[in-house]
Structures are given as C-alpha cells and as structure tokens.
Amino acid sequence: MHDQASPAVGLLVDTDLPLVVFDDGQGTFGPLVDLRAAFELRSGLWTLLERIELALRRKAVATVVPAELAPLVRESTGRPVNELPPNLHGEMPVVVVHGRLLDLGVLRSFRGSLGDMLVDSEGRVIAAVVRARDVLDLGDVLDLGRTKTSAVQTVDVKVAQAPWDIVTRVATTLSEDLALAGNAPLVFGCATRQLRPDEGTSFGTQPLLIHPTARVGPCAVIDISVGPVVLGAGVVVRPGAVLVGPCVVLEGSTVAERSLLKAGTVIGPHCRAGGEIGGTIFQGFSNKSHDGHLGDSFVGEWVNIGAGTDNSNLLNTYGEVIVRLEPDGGLLRTGRQFWGSILGDHVKLAIGTRLMTGTTIGTGAMIASSKSPSTLVQRFAWLTDGASGATDAKTFRIEKFLETARAMMSRRGKSPSVAMESRLREVHLRIAGKA
C-alpha cells in the first residue's frame, strides 16, 4: 500500500483483476456462522458471495476468513482460503471486497486503479484494489481501512450486521438478483411463463420463472401482483399450495399441499416447506413439512421442524423486537416490529414446539419440551420434559449428535465431511467448557 498508485484503468467491472472476498469475522450472526463464513449466507437467489461474483462478472480466486472457518470454507468453495492461488504472486494487483456487502451498486462505479479504496462511514473497507501481499490474512485486510491515501472514498452503503439485515431486504435483493441474472444463465435455466390450467392459477404482472423440470400440482395459486416468484430445477409444488411473491423456491425443494409461502420467503435448495411460512430464509437442506407458522426468521441447514410448531414474530406490546444471539452477548435491537427466530444448523424441534418472539436456537440443539424454550437456547442443548414436569436441560452428547446428523444427512445422500465433523466437535468442546 506504500507503492505509487497506477494510472486509472477504468471501471472495475471492465477489468480482469483477480477477486478476493473477505469475511472480517465482525457482525452478529450467532449460530448461523458456526459452520460457514458470513458471505455464504443465502440472501435471495444466491449467497452474498455469489452475488458479489455476479456483480463483478468473475469468480473469486480466493477468500479470507477467520482461521477456525478456513477448512470448511475451503471445502465449500473449492478455492484457496487465507492463501493465494499459485499463479497469483504478492506484487500483482487484486480487488478485495467485503463479503457482507448488500449494496452492490457501488461496485459498478468503482474504478480499478491500484490504491483506490471504498470505505464506509466507520472506516470499514468495502472494496479496494491492492497488491496481493496485502490480503494474505485478516489483519492485513483490516489494516487497509486505516491507510489514508488520496484514493480513499467514503461511501454510504449497507453491510449486513445481523441476520435481520439480510431478511429485511429480500424483496430488494430478489429484484437485484433478477437484474444480475443477465450475467447468469437464465436464472438457473428458468423461463418466464404463466401457470397452465392443469396447474392452477397465477395472476399479476411481475415475473414468474419456472424451470422446465419443476412441477406444479393442480389448484396451486401463485400471486405475482407485488413481486416475482422463482421455482428452480426439480422443485415440486403440491396441489393447493399458495405462493406470494416475492418468493423463491430453489433446486430440489418441495412445497407441501395447502401450504402458504408468503412474501419475502426464500426456500433454499433441497428443503421441504409446509404450513405457513413468511418473510423467512431457509439456507438449505432443512425440513418444515407440516402445518404450523414460521415467520420473519432465518433457518440454517439440516434443521427439522416438527408438525404443529409455531413461532411468534410480534410482541404483544407491538414494540421493537430485542434479541440475544450469544449467551455471553448483550441485547441487540433489531429495528423491526416483526422478528421471529434464528434456527442454527442441525436444530431439531419436536411436534408442537412453541417459539416466542425473538428466539435464537443454537447449533445442534434438540428441543422436545411441552413448554416454550428460553428465547436463547445454547448450542447442543437437549431440552425435554423431566419427570417433575419441569424442563430438563442437558447437553447433547457429541457422539449421539453426530449419529443423528449422519442419519438425517444420509436421507439426502450426504454425510458430514471430516472438516465438518471437526468443526462441530470444536464448537461442542467450547460449549461444554473443555476447550
């Protein structure tokens, strides 16, 4: 960063500079980032990382993440993590982008000159063109924002600080994603069309994109009067289901009979969606097949939600929802009147579970209690009704947990990798106080 900046080379989107995306480990995402980088969180048609790549028309050649997540991110992205690819030496210019960036418009007007940098009002690096040697670890990335040069520009942008920041803007994100789709193959191969008479009824003027392999059963109703609806490859919408745009159901997912998917809902790949779901993001590979309400929430992967489970997403006082995401963390303002639940990866909820407004359920927790759990449930908690009728709180034994996880994942032809099992054991040890 002490080298003289090179002459301007035009807008970044018109250059071929290698892209590096970083997760600074900041923000407050609770259990949702136990097993993934924040930029891997789903926000619409794509994850935050995928949206950045589409906006800049190139794949990231590497990512920078907190060290404990590196093995998992290396596995999930298939790219170097916290290191440079062999063909990228330290003197070459690269563009680094903040992985939690929500406002992608700033990238399209950013110039690709060595030394140019965008920061937000807090001095947080949003994007920068630097030499590769300056982005080998998080410390170097964070130091970039303290470097003062004439090429630093302060911009007013939105960076996701918590899960509700992502959920709140689903309608905006989906609109942007469809615009970005001009750089992607027809939005996963989906084509715009109306429902056929044998499938049900669609009405409205917003886009309805349906993959040729998706199936829509009789008497379905799709409302595209306010926002678009996208049905990905292999999606099955069973008879009598109602979908209200903006809404996305991604590859391999099934929407059950008589279900209601309300506006602002994103069902990630290979999920089962049933009952009433609104304003909620499913990361992927999770089940809510039965009746019950889930609103204004974020659901991780490999979650199973039992029949008749309901959550509250509005306080009786109609006030702002305030939550806790970590046992040792403080109270957080959501800025929302409506906020429901955060369900970490591998959470299991028994039939009839009732979740109060602003509940956070930690990774690997199992709840089979007739009483509502606390609004913050520890990771790997095992909550059941004890002999006295009181809630019996224990910790899920790690070997039993992994046995359960393997069993659920095998139903989708998956199994936890070595890196995944290792990370789960690390988190469990920390919670058990043995780390």
H or E segment at 304?
Answer: strand 304-305
Kindly list the domain boundaries of the chain, sorted by start residue: 12-161, 166-285, 302-309+319-430
> Quick one: tokens of 54?
């589409």
Q: How far apart are CA 382 and CA 43, in angstroms?
A: 30
Q: What is the pTM of this model?
A: 0.94
> Given 3.30.450, 2.130.10, 2.160.10, 1.10.3470, which CATH number is that of 166-285?
2.160.10
H or E segment at 143?
Answer: helix 138-144
Helices within 223-336 (DSSP H only): none
CB crowding 388-423: b at 16 or more within 10 Å, else e:
eeebeeebbebeebbebbeebbeeeeeebeebbeeb
Is the pLDDT assigned to residue 90 strictly greater than 80?
Answer: no
More confident residue, 84 or 136: 84
197-240 pLDDT, tens per residue? 999 999 999 999 999 999 999 999 999 999 999 999 999 999 99
Fold of 302-309+319-430: UDP N-Acetylglucosamine Acyltransferase; domain 1 (2.160.10)
pLDDT at 10: 63
Extended beta strands in 134-239, E state: 152-154, 191-192, 200-203, 208-210, 215-216, 220-223, 229-231, 236-237
More confident residue, 158 or 148: 158
Q: How far apart are CA 419 and CA 155, in angstroms?
A: 38
- Mean pLDDT value of segment 384-410: 86
pLDDT at 108: 85
49-76 pLDDT, tens per residue? 999 999 999 999 999 999 999 999 999 9
Is the pLDDT assigned to residue 32 strictly greater than 50?
Answer: yes
> Quick one: tokens of 432?
């058990």
DSSP assignment letter at 114? T
DSSP assignment letter at 14? G
If one looks up domain 12-161 in CATH, what number appears?
3.90.550
- Common-topology check for domains 166-285 and 302-309+319-430: yes
Per-residue CA distances from 98 to 19, 50, 308 (Å): 11, 13, 40
Give residue 187's pLDDT band: very low, low, confident or very high (50, 70, 90): low
What type of residue sits at position 209? L
Is the pLDDT assigned to residue 194 strictly greater than 50?
Answer: yes
Is the pLDDT assigned to residue 1 strictly greater than 50?
Answer: no
Q: How far apart are CA 233 and CA 252, in angstroms?
A: 6
